[in-house]
């Protein structure tokens, strides 16, 4: 049995998205900017995709910019808004558990003279709204908070954060990295008070190399890529038509039978947690049940290095992720795990299991028995 439980790294592309992409690649090959019929045909794929995405967000079609993926969306949102608004202030706020695609642009902006406040999180990875409120100043131009943490599945209080930001400094923009949340939650940015929101295609059964940034109308943003002026000049470069078509299809599908799928993910997650409840070596990070994301589980296995466990499971055709990529020569422990304060000896013993709605309870059982068989064996050999 082959069991893929690494859906937060990437997902399998949906068959309908694949088919639509092949069609866009073969038939809709015209450059969307061309004035002739072929160009119009190419453009029609983009229009269709945009409409599908807007429907899921209750957004306007002018509010979506296609990018090369989540990383670019985050970069455009953060650097683009900082550059456009630096005259109003040079202060930014983010959290200490962001993905590197948010954290690194922040570090870059610090080098450019901006100051950044990194919000702390509690043992479950949740930010403190009090600290957020206290951090916002008249100088603050951007707050960037992830919706769902990619390592432990913590869900941040986005609606309350938005309310606080708009109350304390109405001019400050609110960016949300929703790469792990889109498709798992119903997100209506306008209603929530979100100005900018990043989404990636390949996390929702769409293709790699494509994503979008939601930009609320009238939000001031500067481009970070310059060229032919496509997409209103905000993101130059001939549009990735097949990628966009595939993304549109995947976005639509991820909100099909939404409640049923969300329910299923929670079921799988709970089955997994419960299955290891009696094992003294298993510790789960983050909140249980509905208070954390439906698809992400962070599991610390006492006395076993995550990479070794990963390969041992791989041997049984079970694919998971190491909570932190850590090699003997270059230790780079996970910032998220450090931020939630897990014990030092657990940093390198944490794996991430992430589901998609196609996973089954049989697969979970198979994985549980594999873990129970493999872990005691591996525990016999620990590094000194």
Partner 1 sequence: MSNAFLIKYGEIGIKGKNRHLFEDALVRQIKHALRPIEGAFQVTKEQGRIYIESLEECDQEEVTERLQCVFGIVGICPVEIREDQGFEQLARDVIEYLEANYGSKSLTFKVHTRRARKNYPMPSMEVNAALGERILEAFPNMKVDVHNPELMLNIEIRKMINIYSQTIPGPGGMPVGTSGKGMLLLSGGIDSPVAGYMIAKRGVKIDAVYFHAPPYTSERAKQKVIDLAKVIAKYAGPIYLKVVDFTAIQMYIYEKCPHDELTIIMRRYMMRIAEHFAEETGSLGLITGESIGQVASQTMHSLAATDDVCKFPVYRPLIGFDKIEIINISEKIGAYKTSILPYEDCCTIFVAKHPVTKPSLKVIRRSELKLQEQIDEMVKTAIETAETIVVEAE
The 3-state DSSP class for residue 161 equals helix
381 touching partner 1, by CB under 8 A: yes
* Cβ closest to partner 1, residue 172 vs residue 309: 309
Please answer whether residues 124 and 342 qualify as being in contact, where contact means their C-beta atoms are separated by less than 8 angstroms: no
Q: Binding residue for partner 1 (CB under 8 A) from 2, 37, 278, 328?
A: 328
Is 54 in the active site? no
314 touching partner 1, by CB under 8 A: yes
Picking from 143, 131, 220, 222, the residue whose alpha carbon sits closest to that of residue 177 is 143
Compute the least distance from the CB of residue 345 to partner 1, in Å: 15
Distance (Å, rounded) from C-alpha 222 to C-alpha 78? 10
Residue 290 contacts by C-beta under 8 Å, 6 or more apart in sequence? Answer: 266
Per-residue contact flags (x/-) with partner 1 for residues 269 to 308, judged by CB under 8 A: --------------------------------------xx
Tell me the sheet residues that pair with 94.
118
369 touching partner 1, by CB under 8 A: no
27 touching partner 1, by CB under 8 A: no
Residue 254 contacts by C-beta under 8 Å, 6 or more apart in sequence? Answer: 56, 182, 183, 204, 205, 261
Distance (Å, rounded) from C-alpha 71 to C-alpha 33? 25
* Cβ closest to partner 1, residue 136 vs residue 308: 308
109 touching partner 1, by CB under 8 A: no
Compute the least distance from the CB of residue 325 to partner 1, in Å: 9
Please answer whether residues 304 and 317 qualify as being in contact, where contact means their C-beta atoms are separated by less than 8 angstroms: no
327 touching partner 1, by CB under 8 A: yes
Compute the least distance from the CB of residue 312 to partner 1, in Å: 4
Phi, psi of 238 (to 5 degrees): -55, 130
310 touching partner 1, by CB under 8 A: yes
User: If binding means CB under 8 A, how many residues of this protein chain bind partner 1?
Assistant: 17
330 touching partner 1, by CB under 8 A: yes
Distance (Å, rounded) from C-alpha 263 to C-alpha 46? 32
Go through the chain and tell me how many residues it has: 384
* Cβ closest to partner 1, residue 2 vs residue 328: 328
Distance (Å, rounded) from C-alpha 264 to C-alpha 277? 20
Sheet with 321-322, strands from edge to edge, namely 282-285, 296-301, 350-354, 321-322
From the candidates 13, 26, 54, 326, which is the catalytic residue? 326
Per-residue contact flags (x/-) with partner 1 for residues 53 to 92, judged by CB under 8 A: ----------------------------------------
* Cβ closest to partner 1, residue 218 vs residue 329: 329
Backbone angle region of 116, left / alpha / beta, with phi > 0 → left and psi within -120 to 50 → alpha: beta
Distance (Å, rounded) from C-alpha 303 to C-alpha 340? 20
* Cβ closest to partner 1, residue 26 vs residue 327: 327
Per-residue contact flags (x/-) with partner 1 for residues 157 to 176, judged by CB under 8 A: --------------------
Active site positions, annotated: 326
In the complex, the residues that contact partner 1 under the rule CB under 8 A are: 307-312, 314-315, 327-330, 378, 380-381, 383-384
């Amino acid at each position: 049995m082959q069991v893929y439980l690494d859906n937060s790294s990437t997902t399998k592309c949906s068959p309908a998205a694949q088919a639509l992409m092949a069609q866009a690649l073969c038939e809709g090959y015209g450059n969307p900017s061309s004035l002739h019929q072929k160009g119009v045909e190419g453009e029609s794929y983009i229009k269709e995709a945009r409409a599908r995405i807007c429907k899921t967000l209750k957004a306007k079609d002018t509010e979506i910019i296609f990018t090369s993926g989540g990383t670019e969306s985050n970069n455009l949102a953060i650097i683009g808004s900082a550059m456009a608004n630096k005259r109003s202030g040079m202060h930014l706020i983010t959290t200490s558990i962001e993905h590197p695609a948010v954290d690194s642009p922040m570090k870059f902006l610090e080098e450019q003279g901006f100051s950044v406040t990194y919000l702390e999180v509690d043992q479950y990875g949740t930010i403190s709204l009090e600290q957020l409120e206290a951090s916002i100043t008249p100088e603050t131009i951007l707050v960037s908070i992830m919706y769902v943490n990619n390592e432990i599945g913590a869900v941040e209080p986005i609606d309350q954060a938005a309310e606080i930001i708009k109350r304390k400094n109405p001019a400050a923009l609110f960016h949300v990295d929703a790469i792990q949340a889109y498709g798992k939650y119903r997100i209506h940015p306008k209603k929530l008070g979100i100005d900018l929101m990043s989404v990636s295609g390949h996390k929702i059964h769409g293709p790699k190399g494509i994503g979008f940034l939601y930009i609320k109308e009238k939000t001031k943003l500067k481009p970070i890529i310059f060229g032919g002026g496509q997409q209103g000049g905000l993101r130059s470069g001939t549009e990735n038509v097949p990628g966009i078509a595939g993304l549109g299809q995947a976005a639509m599908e991820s909100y099909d039978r939404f409640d049923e799928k969300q329910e299923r993910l929670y079921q799988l997650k709970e089955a997994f947690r419960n299955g290891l409840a009696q094992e003294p070596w298993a510790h789960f990070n983050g909140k249980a049940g509905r208070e954390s994301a439906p698809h992400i589980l962070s599991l610390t296995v006492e006395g076993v290095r995550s990479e070794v466990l990963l390969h041992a499971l791989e041997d049984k055709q079970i694919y998971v992720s190491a909570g932190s990529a850590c090699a003997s020569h270059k230790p780079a422990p996970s910032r998220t795990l450090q931020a939630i304060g897990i014990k030092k000896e657990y940093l390198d013993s944490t794996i991430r299991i992430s589901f998609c709605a196609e996973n089954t309870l049989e697969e979970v059982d198979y994985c549980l028995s594999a873990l129970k068989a493999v872990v005691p064996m591996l525990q016999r050999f620990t590094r000194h």
